[in-house]
Amino acid sequence: METKIGVFLCNCGGAIKNIDFDAVAKKVAKFPGVTCVNLSSNLCLEEGKEKMISCIREENIEKVVVAACSPEFNEHIFREVLEKSGLNGHLLSMANIREQCSWAHEGDVTEKAVELVKMAVNKVRFLQPMEKKAVPVNREVLVVGGGFSAINVALQLSRVGLQTTLLEKETVLGDGLEKLESFYGFYPSSMISAVEGDRNIEIMTSAHMTAVEGNIGDFGVRIRKGGEEIFRKYGAIILATGYKTELALDSEPKLRAENEAISGINIVSQEQFCRMLRNPSLKTKPKTIGFMFDFSDENSRFPTLATLNNALAAKKKWGSEIYVFYKSVKVDSEGVEKLYQEARDCGVVFLRSEIPPRITAKNGRVKIEAKDVFLGEDVILACDILVAEELYLPAEETENLSSLLNIRLDSRGFFQDENVHLYPVTSEKKGIFFVGGCRDDLDLGRVLTDISSVVINVNELLSSGKIPVDVERVKADPQKCVACLTCIRVCPHGAIQLIRADNSKEVAGISDLACDACGICAAICPAKAIKFQGYRDEEILAQIEAIGESSNGRIVAFCCEHSAYPAADLAGKLKLHYPENLRVIRVPCAGQVDVFHILKSFEKGAAAVLVLGCEDGACHHITGNIRAKERVNYCNMLLKEVRVDGRPVAMFNVSPNAPHKFVRAVNEITKITKESGR
């Protein structure tokens, strides 16, 4: 018995003038399985929804197609309507006949509208219901680190009732806290006693992670403390491992050699200088002090802060003459411009140069030669102490931790990929967070903001002890899985593990909690064992079939729902017209598009295939657009092999707010297609 499909058409208040709805309704009524076709002028409003619910109930409709405005707007509304009518909300397929049809093209678009509805009807036949379930999770949090960020995160998490373990590799907590006194005028000794006295916080010093397995809600962590191995479970992991600084001098071997004799005494780091300032038994106060920053590394927020604070402190405490050599002062943090002005007003002299100054030793003092930009002349300074330029670098254990956790580092070796969708504190793996100086050169204000952000993020996930998931949204069929480990290796979210299925065979198991529904695994599985509800082969092929049945010349565009699909909608809203023969198939990520889908599109008569995903470096699933690009290239090679020329497959990257780029891509591929005579 065929499923009863109900099709609901909406003419948007009668405003859609270039579609003949009666003709559409007539044609659609003939599609197999369609038992009811309804035309409305306001499906999204209360009265329209009420009518839909009664129709579904009266006609015993089992699956629903809505042909109206973009699903980006109203999909959730119609899913609710289905639920209210007693159907599972996922048995819905939408045809975008407004933004991507009526508004996107000139002239009559009835034919395209019919095809779009056909695509949706074909797809809905295969859709299966999906349930939601609340999965219990472990509420404990592991905080790796023991400095300012780690301590504050633990304290704030405790305030909201979550228990944490502070994992510190040194023997004591509070490494690096003395700097805070010099720079911000407070010594957080109370912080350490607060942490030690907090019943929600467990402190493990001289301890480090040796292995991690599992996913959010259920991380299994092996810790080595003393000679012991401890195994613990946590719901989330927060990395707050800080940073390290290194004298830029160290990277210049010649410079170092020249200064061997006096380095360490006359050439110091900011931290050593802080200690000098705090040392009550300092014998001689330095009369002339030089500071340097922003030459080797122009990413110098922290060096700017350190210099300004130390220079001011030295001026006030010792009254020394202070000269600062720099290229550009980094004032893009709160209060730093004021600090800079204060330093200048206090008499600190700022000497700007474009190239790094020359540093040599002379008569037990440090000689600095620089070309000052304002004077246009060389300046030579002999000083008692030079606080040399420092590089802000990732902490020692960053690389090791990133392999243990299998998470990406950024291009400078700090935690957290540079993908903007991860900011401020998340990683590509659910349940793993970064906070503070371990992810970037941050001032205190930004570190504090990070800390608060991570607290609410973790609270949101773990506080109720349960996280709702779509049950088996993406699943590897244990019968077909050959445990080739490909999906495990490619999943950008680390959501797949080898598990033992019922018959004890090792197969890929996808964690509902950790899965972010991108479909990259489904597209790459060589055994076609992974099923992604709503985007399975059946569902995609059904849409392609509908396109193919019409005459040739169609361009199939797989549009990622985060980027190209909204861009296409915007193009419609802006009335930026593009060729009518475009047929969009909405996908969760460009990385979900299978080579197989592209080839089938051609088999069914497509003139060209477009794959559109996010801009390079901005993929919501990190590697989806890269995979898509590789597959598109592979596809072109496969077609070339069989001498099927003139059937272009192209990949374009576009942002959701870049409708012009979308239209340019479509126009370009249309032009190529016309030129090859299809």
Partner 1 sequence: MIIAERKPMEEIKQFIAPYKKVLVAGCGTCVTVCWAGGEKEVAVLASQLRLARSAEGSEISVLEATVERQCEREMVAEIKDKVAEVEAVISLACGSGVQTMAEMFEDKPVLPAVNTTFIGMPEKEGLWVEMCGACGDCFLDRTGGICPIVRCAKGLLNGPCGGTRRGGKCEIDPEKDCAWVLIYRRLEKQGRLDVMRKYYAPKNYRAVKRPGKVQASKA
Partner 2 sequence: MGSNNVLVIGLGIAGIASALELANTGVSVYLLEKEAVIGGHSASFCCKATDICSKCSACVVFDKIKEAIIHPQITFLTNSTIKRLSGELGNFRVEIIQQPRYVDENRCIACGLCTEVCPADPKAIYLPFAEATPFSYILDEGRCLRFKGEKCDLCQDSCPTKAIEFELKSKEQELSVGAVIVATGFDVFDARKKGSLGYGRYPNVLTGLDLEQIFTREGHLILPTNGKEPQNIAFIQCVGSRDEAHGYCSQVCCKYAMKLAGLIKYQNPDTQVTIFYIDLQTTGKGFAQFYGNYKESIRFVRGVPVEILQTSSGELEVRFEDIAQGKVCRDTFDLVVLSVGISPGKNSWDLARILGINLADDGFFDIKHPLSSNETNVDGIFVAGTCQGPKDIPDSIAHGIAAASKAMQVLAESASQGQVNQARH
Q: By CB under 8 A, what part of segment 100-139 binds partner 2?
A: none
42 is a contact residue toward partner 2 (CB under 8 A): yes
Query: What minimum distance in Å lies between the beta carbon of 239 and partner 1?
Result: 26
From the list partner 1, partner 2, none, partner contacted by residue 643 (C-beta under 5 to 8 A by kind): partner 1
* Cα–Cα distance, 525 to 509 (Å, whole number): 13
Cα–Cα–Cα angle for 661, 663, 669, rounded to 5 degrees = 105
The torsion angles phi and psi of 422, rounded to 5 degrees, stand at -90, -20
* Cα–Cα distance, 625 to 51 (Å, whole number): 41
From the list partner 1, partner 2, none, partner contacted by residue 329 (C-beta under 5 to 8 A by kind): partner 2
Nearer to partner 1, 565 or 602 (CB): 602
CB 142 within 8 A of CB 214: no
450 is a contact residue toward partner 2 (CB under 8 A): yes
558 is a contact residue toward partner 1 (CB under 8 A): no
> What single DSSP character describes residue 214?
E
The DSSP-derived string for 115-138 is HHHHHHHHHHHH-----EEEEE--
* Cα–Cα distance, 387 to 555 (Å, whole number): 63
440 is a contact residue toward partner 2 (CB under 8 A): yes
Among 57, 159, 278, 317, binds partner 2 (CB under 8 A): 159
CB 332 within 8 A of CB 364: no
641 is a contact residue toward partner 1 (CB under 8 A): yes
252 is a contact residue toward partner 2 (CB under 8 A): no
Query: What minimum distance in Å lies between the beta carbon of 415 and partner 2?
Result: 10
CB 519 within 8 A of CB 532: yes
Residue 471 three-state SS? coil
* Segment near partner 1 (CB under 8 A); pick from 233-241, 346-354, 437-445, 591-599: 591-599
* Cα–Cα distance, 168 to 209 (Å, whole number): 10
599 is a contact residue toward partner 1 (CB under 8 A): yes
Among 287, 412, 505, 671, binds partner 2 (CB under 8 A): 412
Tokens of 156: 């704030």
Q: By CB under 8 A, what part of segment 391-410 binds partner 2?
A: 410
471 is a contact residue toward partner 2 (CB under 8 A): no
Cis peptide bond prior to 526, omega within 30° of 0: no
Tokens of 521: 């695994």
Nearer to partner 2, 108 or 410 (CB): 410
Among 50, 59, 250, 354, binds partner 2 (CB under 8 A): 354
Among 36, 499, 595, 672, binds partner 1 (CB under 8 A): 595
Tokens of 65: 């197609």
Strands (E), 281-396: 288-293, 321-326, 349-352, 358-362, 365-372, 377-383, 385-387, 390-394
From the list partner 2, partner 1, none, partner contacted by residue 184 (C-beta under 5 to 8 A by kind): partner 2
638 is a contact residue toward partner 1 (CB under 8 A): yes
Nearer to partner 1, 444 or 638 (CB): 638
Tokens of 514: 């950790």
Q: By CB under 8 A, what part of segment 291-320 binds partner 1?
A: none
CB 168 within 8 A of CB 265: no
C-alpha radius of gyration, the chain, whole number: 31
Other Cβ atoms less than 10 A from the Cβ of 207: the count is 21
Q: Residues with Cβ < 8 Å from 445, sequence gap 6 or more?
A: 333, 334, 335
Q: By CB under 8 A, what part of segment 603-632 binds partner 1?
A: 603
* Cα–Cα distance, 205 to 67 (Å, whole number): 61
CA dihedral over 632, 637, 639, 644, signed as positive or negative: positive
* Cα–Cα distance, 629 to 650 (Å, whole number): 8
Nearer to partner 2, 100 or 419 (CB): 419
Query: What minimum distance in Å lies between the beta carbon of 326 and partner 2?
Result: 9
Query: What minimum distance in Å lies between the beta carbon of 512 and partner 1?
Result: 24
Nearer to partner 2, 384 or 440 (CB): 440
* Segment near partner 2 (CB under 8 A); pick from 23-31, 153-161, 227-235, 540-548: 153-161
Q: How far is CA 121 from CA 9, 106, 117, in A?
A: 12, 25, 6
Query: What minimum distance in Å lies between the beta carbon of 180 and partner 2?
Result: 10
Nearer to partner 2, 213 or 354 (CB): 354
Among 233, 316, 489, 575, binds partner 1 (CB under 8 A): 489
282 is a contact residue toward partner 1 (CB under 8 A): no
Nearer to partner 2, 378 or 460 (CB): 460
CB 557 within 8 A of CB 501: no
CB 572 within 8 A of CB 108: no
258 is a contact residue toward partner 2 (CB under 8 A): no
Among 664, 668, 672, 678, binds partner 2 (CB under 8 A): 664
Q: By CB under 8 A, what part of segment 170-199 binds partner 2?
A: 184, 186
Nearer to partner 2, 118 or 661 (CB): 661
Residues of this chain that bind partner 1 (CB under 8 A): 480, 482-486, 489-490, 525-528, 594-596, 599-600, 602-603, 638-639, 641-645, 647
